[in-house]
Each structure stands twice: as C-alpha cells, then as structure tokens.
Amino acid sequence: MPTVSVIVPNYNHAAFLEKRLTTVLDQSFRDTEVIVLDDASTDRSRDIIAQFTEDERVRTDFRTANSGSATAQWNRGVKMASGKYVWIAESDDYADLDLLCTLVEILDQHSDVGLAYCESTVVDTADCHIRSAAHWSTKVDPHRWTRSFVNTGRDECARFFVVQNLIPNASAVVFRRQLYEEVGGADESYTMAGDYELWARMLLRSSLAFTPQPLNFFRDHEKNVRSNYNASSKFLVEDYDILDMIRQQVSVPVESLHMALDRRLNEWAYRHLIRQPRINWMLNWYIYRRARRSDPAIHRRLAKYWHGHLRRVKPHPNRFHP
C-alpha cells in the first residue's frame, strides 16, 4: 500500500499535463500511486496521459461524459485511492519536487494534523512567475503566514477561515484520506466553493499545519473556474453559506466576523455593482437577500462602501453631481 495517493483530475488541460505529470512522478518522495482522471476531455489530454502509463505507479480512469463538477472528480479519485495521505494535484498546476517530502514529513510528525499545506506561487500559461499567493493571506494577517505553524482546526476556522478560504489552491495540500472519508468527502452541491467548504469541515475535526515554503505553482489563466460573472455570483452565495456553517460550529470573535462580512460585501460590490453596473438587477437582489440573512446590517456596510467608492472616483465633467 503506497503512503500517498496522488489524484490528478483533468479536463482539457493538454497544454499543461506534461509538466503536471512530470513534477508528480519525479517527486523526491517516491512511495506513491498516481491516479489520473480524465473528465471526457475534447483536446489531446488522453494522448499525453498515455505517454506516462508505462510508469507502474500510474492508473487512469477515463469518463465518456463530463461530470460537470470538480468535486465529483475529487470524490471519485479518493474512492480509488489506497494511500494513507492524498494529494489532489490539479492538472493545470505543477510542483517543486520536494513538495510531497516536506508535507508528508509534517503529517508524520503531527498525528492530530489532518491537512498540511505550503505557500504557492502564481504563474501564467508560460510558467512565468506573476506573484506569490501570499498576497491572499496577508489581507487577513500580514505576518502569520510568513512562518510555519500548527494550529487546531476549530481555532483556525473561528479566527481566520471564517474570513475567507486561506488555501487558495488545492494543489498545495496533502491530507489524511481517513479524515476525508470521515467528513463524507466533498459536497458536490457546491459548484464554486466546494474546496473551501471541504477544508472547513475537515478543520472542524482536525488540526492544520502550514509551511511558507513556496512548493506549489498555481496557474492563473482565462479558463479558471471563477473567471466569469455567473460563476462569481454563484461563488458569493456559497461563500455566505460557508460563513454560516462555520458560525454554527464555533464561536467567532467579533473582529473576525466583521472582517468576514466586510470581505464578502466588498467582493460583491466590486465585482457586481462597480465593474458590472448594468448587470441583471434581479440577480443582484437575490445576492443581497442571501447576504442579508448572514449580515442583517449589510445595508449600512453597503452604504459605507459606496460612499468610499464615490470619494475615490473622479466625477465626469459632463455629468451632473448635486
């Protein structure tokens, strides 16, 4: 039985698959099985996957119809897995060759840790470095993610994960398969924030470990899931659902709650009211009503945000401003 099951869920990522699979199979930690899932790709993905099947560690599973769900692929892969630990290596990302060695060592040293993850570097389609993904976590705390730490999952959810998903890329995570199965796997009803919801449920039952070593390379490209308006609208609704789920399980400090509510309001207002002012008003009304269930004072937050935005916008010279 291998120590780590590496699951590579793929859909139409032929352009990135060779590098993905190479950096999986060439890991310095060798006690692995590699399960490559193809969700009915229409590009050259299967031809590229076939080039790696000579490695005895590689198993493949090809669907004839697209599942339409990333988390369904995760659940399918974990059911096929036999390893103690699982690494979901997304097909458009790649990794430093010491990623598994580093994260497996952390999990071996801390039996209470269910998830271990590393820092990520954002790259473009040509593998050029854009920025560190640390900019995502520094919005919550500018110093905490500059060093390694281990923390109880419930405290992590109450103070930090309630604000936002602090694991911006699943490829940076190695977790215990038993824990994944205990929480029932990923909830496939979440189409946009399924990873966030899964991490939260896992952390409510285990501890978390982080290393600031940038061992994961997260690809930013136009086919990313949240790159369009409808997707971001769905994500906002699911984001509020996860906020409420965490609040039902743990006592959230007031400061963290305000940060969580402000972050969600700011994302909605910026994406949908500022950047897309002519969008369907009924959809915005739907988002507003969902947000108000979690944040009864959202009208005051919205007014404050809008006032701050107008102060930053230079008035148009031909537009009347009372």
Are 205 and 247 within one domain? Answer: no
* Cα–Cα separations (whole angstroms), residue 34 to 8, 54, 189, 249: 7, 12, 26, 35
Q: Is residue 293 part of a domain?
A: yes
* Structural domains of the chain, count: 2
pLDDT reading at 315 higher than 60: no
What is the longest distance spanned by two Cα atoms in the chain? 73
134 and 171 inside one domain: yes
* pLDDT for the residue numbered 234: 87
**241 and 206 within one domain:** no
Q: How far apart are CA 198 and CA 195, in angstroms?
A: 5
Would you state the pLDDT for residue 49?
98
Residues 113 and 73 in one domain: yes
- Provide CB contacts within 8 A for 193, sequence distance 6+: 165, 235, 238, 239, 241, 242
User: Last residue of some domain: 219, 248, 278?
Assistant: 219
- Per the model's pLDDT, the better-predicted residue between 57 and 274 turns out to be 57
The answer to whether residues 162 and 254 belong to one domain is no
- For residue 283, the model assigns a pLDDT of 74
Over residues 141-153, the mean pLDDT reads: 97
The model's pLDDT over 212-270, given as tens digits with 9 standing for 90+, comes to: 999 999 998 765 544 455 677 888 999 999 999 999 999 999 999 999 999 998 888 77
User: How does 44-68 read in b/e, with b if 16+ C-beta sit within 10 Å?
Assistant: ebbebbeebeeeeebebeeeeeebe
Q: What is the CATH number of the domain that holds 141?
A: 3.90.550.10
Least confident stretch, 84-93, 208-217, 286-295 = 286-295
Do 133 and 170 sit in the same domain of this protein?
A: yes
Q: Are residues 54 and 13 part of one domain?
A: yes
What is the model's pLDDT at position 56? 97
User: Kind and range of the H or E element at 260?
Assistant: helix 254-268
Q: Residue 322: what pLDDT?
A: 30
Would residue 319 count as lying in a domain?
Answer: no
Question: What average pLDDT does this structure show over 139-147?
Answer: 95
Residue 276 has a pLDDT of: 56
Among 184, 219, 254, identify where a domain stops: 219
Residues 39 and 179 in one domain: yes
Domain that includes residue 250, residue range: 229-312
Q: What percent of the chain has pLDDT over 70?
A: 89
pLDDT of 3 higher than 60: yes
Place of tokens 């937050």: 301
Residue 224 lies in a domain: no
Q: In the structure, what pLDDT confidence band is assigned to residue 58 with cuts at 50, 70 and 90? A: very high
Domain final position from 198, 219, 240 = 219
Task: Kindly state whether residues 68 and 129 are assigned to the same domain.
Answer: yes
- Is residue 139 situated within a structural domain? yes
Residue pLDDT, tens place only, 88-136: 999 999 999 999 999 999 999 999 999 999 999 999 999 999 999 999 9
- Following DSSP, what letter does each residue of 76-95 receive, concatenated? HHHHH--SSEEEE--TT-EE
Residues 296 and 213 in one domain: no
Mean pLDDT of all residues in 61-78: 94
**What average pLDDT does this structure show over 157-170?**
97
Count how many Cα atoms sit within 13 Å of the Cα of residue 283 in the half-sphere of its side chain: 18
The predicted-structure confidence for 105-117, as pLDDT tens digits, reads as follows: 999 999 999 999 9
